[in-house]
A = this chain, B = another copy of it.
Amino acid sequence: METKDLLEDNKIQEIIDLLRSDMSAEQMIEALDDYHENDIAEAYESLETEDRQRLFGILGAELLSEIFPYIEDVGEYLTEITPEQAADVLENMDADDAVDALEDIDDEEQREKLIELMDEDASADVRLINSYDEDEIGSMMTTNFIVIEEDFSVKQAMRSLISQSQDNDNINTIYVVDKEQKYCGAIELRDLILARADTPLADIISHSYPSVQADASISDSIEMLKDYAEDSIPVLNPNDEIIGVITAQDIIEAVDDEMGEDYAKLAGLTAEEDLNESLLESIKKRIPWLLLLLGLGLLTSSVIGIFEGVVASVAVVVVFQSLILDMAGNVGTQSLAVTIRVLMDEEISGVEKAKFVLKEMRVGGTNGLILGLLAFVFVAVYLHGFKAYVWYAAFSVSGIVGFSLFVAMIVSSFIGTIIPIFFHKIKVDPAVASGPLITTVNDLVAVVTYYGLAGLLLVGRL
């Protein structure tokens, strides 16, 4: 790996040197042809602002429009060139990339100005995509696609394809509309190329090619998009007209985002963070959950407060409180994580849900039995060996620890499953809402079981 990273770094340095050199526009453009846009983008980001401003005149808007989509935070680079230049770059980009780039500019007014400076087609596309909520399919589509009519001949189709491909380079799948301009199927470019001139176009149209509504929710559609495993899927408006497409690259991004969100939420973050996050942003993303958890923790503490008498008379029970609460927490998290993925990945019926909850409880119960027995043995050995308890007393305490552990683990797997299912049912994101509630309920059940048993069975007897 080390050598490879070095090679990689060398390549980027080569491009940087190239971009800084004073060769002619023509020479530079030809030299850049040997490098991938992704690498040029990385080099471009390493330059000084003045270098980049100078480069606009050399490379031109069209070439920059191919590089910019590979830059993650492109907003600052758009604002350091003139608005006219920026608009020129944006209108040469795919509409969805232009939308992403514009989103990077914080100043609403500046953004609006750039959209107005773009040519009519490009700004209309941007406005169309922007008209959808960020969790709707329409917000991630591109308007770069080819569409032909159902009654074309193979030759007409090929001609139409070639003329449209000047502006639209997603040509691997060609979409077909009927006389009323309604979407009716798709043709693989391969099939069109291989078709003889006299083949009826209908023979190569796949009428079963999937489509998606622009206002469908991304998280609801993502599994479908993955399952159909097509390289691009048409996006329809309510009249079934094609207004855009979702490409495989969009799906990669969406899968990455969705999973990243689930991951972040499981960790108690309100959103994913990256390396460049500012201190304030990081704090903002983390403190909401921590505040909530503090409040709930105080609630748990006040319940433990009820058992202060038990603690005062049998102090040894405190030693194992953290063990029981931690294990309940761990089991609850396992059940929660599995439940959330199941809810996201599959459509399950009420009966299946009931079966699933039951299964989780059986898993939790079996694991609880194993761990409870282990705790029963080891805690007794510890108390006898290190705390000089007689075996009877040691096993009395360890019996309560083991039994409480068992109960806590069954309850945790039940709570860890039923709470996300409940939130999913009432259309609240289960990944956000479940964690703190599960922890609290689990803690309370575990504490009441443990100290309750200890109070009943141990106080006055040890």
Interface residues of A (CB under 8 A from B): 1, 5, 33-36, 38-39, 69-70, 162, 165, 169, 171-172, 189-190, 193-194, 207-210, 220, 226-229, 231, 248-249, 251-252, 255-256, 259-260, 262-264, 266-269, 272-275, 279, 282-283, 286-287, 289-291, 293-294, 297-298, 300-302, 304-305, 308-309, 311-312, 315-316, 318-323, 325-327, 329-331, 333-334, 336-338, 341-342, 345-348, 352, 356, 359, 362-363, 366-367, 370-371, 374-375, 378-379, 382, 386-387, 439, 443, 447
Query: In the bound complex, do residue A193 and residue B298 qualify as a contact, i.e. CB atoms below 8 Å apart?
Result: no
> Which partner residue on chain B sits nearest A296 by CB separation?
B326
Known: A190-B169, A251-B252, A367-B290. A272 touches B341 (CB 8 A): yes
Q: Point out the residues of chain B lying under 8 angstroms from A35, CB to CB.
A: 208
Given contacts A256-B259, A286-B367, A309-B315, 6 further A-B contacts (CB under 8 A): A38-B227, A193-B193, A259-B263, A263-B341, A275-B352, A286-B331
- Chain B residues with CB below 8 A from A311, complex form: 311, 315, 318
Q: With A189-B189, A338-B269 known to touch, is A70 a contact of B229 (CB < 8 Å)?
A: yes
List 23 A-B residue pairs with CB atoms under 8 Å apart, sorted by A's residue number. A36-B209, A36-B210, A36-B228, A38-B228, A162-B193, A165-B190, A172-B231, A255-B256, A255-B259, A262-B263, A263-B263, A263-B341, A268-B334, A275-B345, A286-B334, A297-B322, A298-B323, A298-B375, A298-B382, A308-B318, A309-B315, A312-B315, A322-B443
Decide yes or no: A190 and B171 within 8 Å by CB, A263-B266, A333-B267 being known contacts.
Answer: yes
Among residues of B, the one whose C-beta sits closest to the C-beta of A5 is B347
In the assembled complex, which residues on chain B have CB atoms less than 8 Å from the CB atom of A347?
A: 5
The 4 closest A-B pairs by CB, nearest first: A267-B337, A248-B248, A259-B259, A312-B315
Q: Which residue of the partner chain, among B282, B283, B341, contacts A260 with CB atoms under 8 Å?
A: B341
User: For the complex, what is the distance from the CA of A311 to the CA of B290, rounded to whole Å?
Assistant: 27
Most buried by B among A290, A291, A329: A290
CB distance from A281 to the nearest CB of B (A): 10
A165 and B194 contact, CB distance less than 8 A: yes
Task: Flag if B272 contacts A70 (CB, 8 Å).
Answer: no
Known contacts A283-B366, A359-B279: A226-B267 contact under CB 8 Å: no
Knowing A248-B252, A275-B342, A337-B264 are in contact, say whether A379-B329 is a contact too (CB < 8 A): no
Q: How far is the CB of A289 from chain B (nearest CB, A)?
A: 7
Residues in B with CB closer than 8 Å to A210 are: 36, 38
Assuming the A-B contacts A260-B259, A318-B304, A341-B274, are A333 and B290 also in contact, with contact meaning beta carbons closer than 8 angstroms in the complex? no
Are the CB atoms of A273 and B220 closer together than 8 Å?
no
Contacts of A5 in B (CB 8 A): 347
Q: Kindly report which residue of chain B lies nearest to residue A359, judged by CB atoms.
A: B279
Tell me whether A229 and B38 are in contact in the complex, defined as CB-CB below 8 angstroms, given that A266-B266, A305-B319 are known contacts. yes
CB <8 Å contact, A346 and B275: yes
Contact A279 B363 (CB under 8 A): yes
On whether A293 and B326 interact (CB within 8 A), knowing A36-B209, A308-B319, A312-B312, the answer reads: yes
A352 → B minimal CB distance (Å): 7
Minimum CB distance partner of A356 in chain B: B275
Once the chains bind, are B260 and A374 in contact (CB under 8 Å)? no
User: CB-nearest residue of chain B relative to A337?
Assistant: B267
Bound together, the chains give a CA A363 to CA B290 distance in angstroms of: 12
Cβ contact within 8 Å between B329 and A304: no
| Contact present for A327 and B293 (CB under 8 Å) | yes
Docked Cα-Cα span, A208 to B208, in Å, equals 37
